[in-house]
């Protein structure tokens, strides 16, 4: 009974691993779950006199046990293109947001320049008025400014 239960657990773990490996095959695989590098291979048996055979992304240490990558080249490329399309869309969205923020910064800079100009005019008017007043009427604290 105990041994049967252990076998069931081992089978369940193996099926889980098969599922994980199958689920992990997305886009152009760089590394196999076993840790080996994947490479592009042309199936020579599938080659006709004028047509090359099917291409695969395949684990360097491939064994047909379901635990290594062997992805048809077309599928890998299609998934990679879909993934890149999503990435490009996200980058476009980010770029549009950056352009809107850049415009906002430009508007704020213009407003700041207006305020600084207004402040300079006010200071020069006050300085002029201050210079027209007799010195004895100005409290000492205002003379420093």
Q: What burial class does residue 32 get, using C-beta atoms within 10 Å of its C-beta: 0-12 exposed, 13-18 middle, 19+ buried?
A: buried
With respect to Zn ion, which residue has the nearer C-beta, 46 or 65?
Answer: 65
Strand order in the sheet with 55-59: 38-42, 55-59, 70-72
Nearer to Zn ion, 18 or 115 (CB): 18
Q: How far is the CB of 89 from Zn ion (least distance, A)?
A: 32
Residue pair 44/55 in contact (Cβ under 8 Å)? The answer is no
Closer by beta carbon to Zn ion, 17 or else 34: 34
CB 59, min distance to Zn ion, A:
3
CB of 96 to Zn ion, least distance (A): 42
Q: Write the binding mask 48 to 77 for Zn ion: x where contact by CB under 5 A, - elsewhere.
A: -----------x--------x---------
> Residue 68 gets which letter from DSSP?
S
67 burial level (CB within 10 Å; 0-12, 13-18, 19+) = middle
Give burial (CB, 10 Å; 0-12/13-18/19+) of 59. buried
Q: Per rule CB under 5 A, is residue 21 in the interface with Zn ion?
A: no
Q: Which is nearer to Zn ion, 30 or 129 (CB)?
A: 30
Decide: is 25 part of the binding site for Zn ion (CB under 5 A).
no
Q: Which positions lie near Zn ion, rule CB under 5 A?
A: 32, 34, 36, 59, 68
């Amino acid at each position: 009974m105990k041994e049967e239960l252990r076998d069931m657990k081992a089978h369940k773990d193996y099926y889980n691993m098969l599922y994980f490996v199958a689920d992990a095959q997305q886009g152009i695989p760089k590394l196999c779950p076993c840790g080996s590098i994947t490479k592009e291979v042309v199936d020579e048996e599938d080659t006709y006199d004028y047509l090359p055979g099917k291409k695969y992304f395949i684990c360097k240490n491939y064994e047909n046990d379901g635990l290594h990558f062997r992805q048809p080249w077309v599928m890998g490329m299609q998934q990679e293109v879909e993934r890149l399309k999503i990435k490009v869309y996200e980058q476009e969205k980010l770029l549009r947001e950056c352009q809107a923020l850049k415009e906002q910064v430009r508007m704020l800079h213009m407003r700041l320049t207006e305020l600084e100009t207004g402040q300079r005019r006010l200071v020069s008017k006050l300085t002029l008025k201050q210079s027209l007043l007799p010195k004895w009427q100005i409290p000492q604290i205002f003379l420093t400014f």
